[in-house]
Chains A and B, each alone.
Chain A
Amino acid sequence: MTQTIVIAEMTTNGVHSSTAELITAAMTFGGEPTLIVPCTDASLADSAVGMGAGSIIAAKSDVFANYDASGWAAAIDSVAPVGTVITSASPQSKDLAARLAAKRNISVVQDAVKIQNNTVTSPVYSGKAMQSVSINGPTVISVRSNIFPAATGGASSASVLDTTGKIETSVQEFMARASQRLDVSEANIIISGGRGMGSPDNFSHLEAIADTIGAAVGASRAAVDTWEPIPHSMQVGQTGKTVNPNLYIAVGISGAIQHLAGMRSSKYIVAINKDADAPIFQHADYGIVATWEEALPVLHDSLKAMMG
């Protein structure tokens, strides 16, 4: 039986809830996974109790104050046992997964959506195909969120291990986001607008709904390329961000192949478009053929009433 190690996904306040999904993914290899919590303050590891780990190690180091790929990989490598390692597939954790695998001279498989009998399946060609690979020996695997159910129970306390690594990069400046809203890569609900919104000013209607339901606001490439005020950081798609939230609401987006590539794995998709033939409708769980001017006020009122 392979020893499996899970690297906790962190927020500023503690262990991210999606870590419990990583533990379920790790359990497909049998046994009770060891959870490593990279932290500067060991008490943060207490938030991992109840996520199903067989044991919890608070890997405590100043290295973890800011992300540095080299320092993090070294500090985690020195406390993680040999075995298959599971990480989140967030951009930072994919970077860490690759660096950690290289440190151990083993391979990394990114963006797993299924793990069964040492066979790991991930989307390739931006989700236009699925690829299954067979792994032989310890491997680092990053796992997409919202796929595996969350594990529960397990170890009731964490042990603390001090660790360290050499930090290579140094922070010159934190450049705060102009908006307080979540980034599309962090959000569980996303409402995106395309060129069908008519003007960048009309994105205020998306923002109002986003604020009601705690969503991030995204955009299609067409919208980003056409309108200066819509930044590339909002772009969902092949040359933007790949997202898989619980709910994706596409407004005035036709569903070009490059947009679908970035959001087709969302759990539920709502499409609002005036063109009944728009390709986005083939991927929507709920499709509304209407202009945004007609649909958004109704949607917003209903959501406001529900969120009350």
Chain B
Amino acid sequence: MTTIIVLVKQVPDTNAKIAVNNGRVDLSAVKMVMSPYDEFAVETALRHREAVGGEVTALTVGGPAAEKILKDAKAIGVDHIVRIDSAEEMDSNALQTVLTKAVQDLGATVVYCGKSAADTGAGSTGPGLAERLGWASVSNIISATFSDSISAVAPGSGGNVKLSVPLPAVLSCDKGDFKVRKPNVKGIMQAKKASVEVHSIEAPASSVTLVDQSLPPAKPAGKSYQGGAAAAEVAQLLRDEANVL
């Protein structure tokens, strides 16, 4: 049976304004949602299940508040929802070590995740997890077809490239040219009743530690012009002042 795991992460709503207090981003007033690319990963996981059969488990690492996005994943059709309990900040080495253990414990043929999380934007988890599991990985896929292996399309040099990916593998998902499904009433009801499996896995100490967070430096006011004729002057300044042409 094909066992599919999809990694999901809770992040601030991407339309939210980010505030900083005492050197830390303050998320107390911000709505938390599933990271946008993870929605494409969930959709791809469900399509994989529909193509070949099997079961999909949505997995997250975090505190109890992170269970909301697991319920969201359940509402659109995943079979199982699992949270690895963690309250602490982890560097990539610690997080990937925990996820590697979780994937080994749960067992999986394939792992999907978003190409990057909307908070860090790093995109390290998919390829890092694959390396630790000794699996193949392809990042930033925009479509996939499923059989004993996966045929995935990802950006390459000079255009896209279609790759044959042997299983087991980790695939990170970019926004694809398809719509992600929305929950229906039945799904939402089932998700409410669904229970979250909670595991705890010991993380190694982090060697990368947070020093501080700050707002980006304000950009000095630029020059502004009225009317299209000013485009001639701007073109000149781009060469003479900005030196970018």
Interface of A with B (CB < 8 Å)? 12, 66-67, 69-70, 73, 91, 94-99, 101-103, 105-111, 119, 123-137, 139, 168-177, 183, 185, 189, 213, 232-233, 235, 238-240, 242, 246-247, 257-258, 261, 264, 267-270, 272, 281-291, 293-299, 301-303, 306-307
Contact with A along B93-112 (1 / 0, CB 8 A): 11010000000000000000
Contacts A171-B163, A239-B36 known; A126 to B118 CB distance under 8 Å?
yes
Q: How many residues of B contact A (CB 8 A)?
A: 85
Of the listed stretches B59-67, B68-76, B226-234, name the one at the interface; the rest are far from the partner chain: B226-234
**Residue ID in chain B nearest A266 by CB atoms:** B244
B20 within 8 A of A: yes
What are the nearest 6 A-B pairs in CB distance?
A294-B228, A168-B136, A102-B131, A302-B235, A295-B228, A98-B124
Min CB distance A277 to B, Å, is 12
List the interface of chain B (C-beta within 8 A of A). 12, 14-15, 17-18, 20, 25, 36-37, 91-94, 96, 118-132, 135-140, 142, 151, 153, 155-166, 169, 175, 177, 206-216, 219, 222-232, 234-239, 242, 244-245
CA of A124 to CA of B227, assembled, Å: 36
Whether the Cβ atoms of A168 and B234 lie closer than 8 Å is: no
A306 and B132 CA atoms in complex are apart in Å by: 53
Known: A99-B137, A101-B128, A169-B165. A298 touches B118 (CB 8 A): no
Taking chain A's interface residues, is the majority helix, strand, or loop, or is none over half, making it mixed?
A: mixed
Q: Are B162 and A175 in contact (CB under 8 A)?
A: yes
Cβ contact within 8 Å between B209 and A102: no
Tally the A-B contacts, defined by beta carbons under 8 Å: 292
Q: Which residue of B lies closest to A268 (CB)?
A: B242
A160 to B117, CA, bound (A): 38
B225 touches A288 (CB 8 A): yes
Q: Are B225 and A174 in contact (CB under 8 A)?
A: no
